[in-house]
Amino acid sequence: AASVTGTATGNKHTVSASGTITAALNGLSPSSSTVYANGQTGVVLAKYDLTAASGEDILVSSLQFDFYEATGQGDATDSGDIANAKLMNGTTQVGSTVASPTGTATFSPNLTVQAGKSVTLSLVVDIPSGAVFTTATQVHADFDSSEQSVTGQASGATASVLTNGSTDVVGNNLTVTTGTLTTSLVQPPVTGNVIKAGTGVDLLKILFTAGVAETVRVTSVKFTVAGDVSASDATNLTAT
C-alpha cells in the first residue's frame, strides 16, 4: 500500500456568530450643487449602497431614513415638506410608499443582499409646492444604522450594520427653491431716428433666463412705452 507523508495546512477562516452589511453613500448620489423646485415629483434625495460581507446572504427587513433641513441633525423636516417617499432598487420599488413622512420614513423592503454583493437603493420623494424649509432652503436624508432590521440568512441572527465609522450615512444637502426668471436687454437698438411709416423696426430685444430649479413657461409679457406716445404711433407690435 502507498504511504502518505508530509502535511497540508488549510487557510484560516474566521467564524462569526452573524454576518455584516455595510451602508455607504453611492458615488452617484445627488451632489450638494443639486437644485430642486417646489412642486417637483419623483426627485432623488440620495442613493445608498448596501454591501453584504462574504459570510452569508443578508435579509433587509426594515430601513429607516431621517429627513433634515440644512446641515446637521438639528432641525427635522415638518409635515408637508416631503411627500410620497419610496425606495427604488433600479426601476423596481421595494417596500410601500410613505405618503406623508414627518422627519422619518420607514420601509419594509424584504430585500436579500447576496454575500459579497452590493445593492444600490435610491430614496425618491415628491416636494409639495407648499413645502417650507424654515431653517434654510436645503434638505438632506440620513440612513440611520441604529434603526434598521437585517438578518443573516444562514445564521438566522441579527446582522451588524456598518457605516464606515459613523452611526449615520449622511446624504448631501440639496437646495429647494421656487422657479425664477431673469430678464436682460440684448443689444439694445442705438438711440437715434426712426423713419416714419417704417416697418419691421426693432424697438427692444430681451433675453429671458430661467433659473436652474425648473423650466419656466412665459405666457404673457407687458411693455410700457415712455414719452409722449399715442396708441396710433406704433402698430402691428409683435414679439418673436
Distance from C-alpha of 108 to C-alpha of 150, rounded to nearest angstrom: 11
pLDDT value of residue 101: 93
pLDDT value of residue 73: 79
- Grid cell at residue 135: 431653517
Ranges of beta strands (E only) in the chain are: 20-25, 35-37, 43-52, 58-69, 83-89, 92-98, 104-107, 111-113, 118-126, 138-144, 149-152, 160-162, 168-170, 174-177, 181-185, 206-210
pLDDT value of residue 153: 92
Mean pLDDT of 129-138: 75
102 pLDDT above the threshold of 60: yes
Instruction: Let me know: does 89 contact 80? Beta carbons within 8 Å.
Output: no
Tell me the Cα Rg of the chain: 29
Distance from C-alpha of 59 to C-alpha of 170, rounded to nearest angstrom: 23
Percentage of the chain exceeding pLDDT 70: 75
135 pLDDT above the threshold of 60: no
Q: Which residues lie closer than 8 Å to 223 by C-beta, 6 or more apart?
A: 204, 237
Listed residue (22, 8, 24) closest to 169, CA to CA? 24
> What is the band of 30 on the pLDDT scale with cuts at 50, 70, 90?
very high
pLDDT value of residue 41: 94
Distance from C-alpha of 157 to C-alpha of 117, rounded to nearest angstrom: 19
Residue 4 Cα to chain centre, angstroms: 64
Mean pLDDT of 42-71: 93
pLDDT tens for each residue of 64-90? 999 998 777 778 888 889 999 999 999
Residue type, 2: A
125 pLDDT above the threshold of 70: yes
What values do phi and psi take at 63, rounded to 5?
Answer: -135, 135
More confident residue, 92 or 202: 92
> What is the band of 198 on the pLDDT scale with cuts at 50, 70, 90?
low
More confident residue, 149 or 10: 149
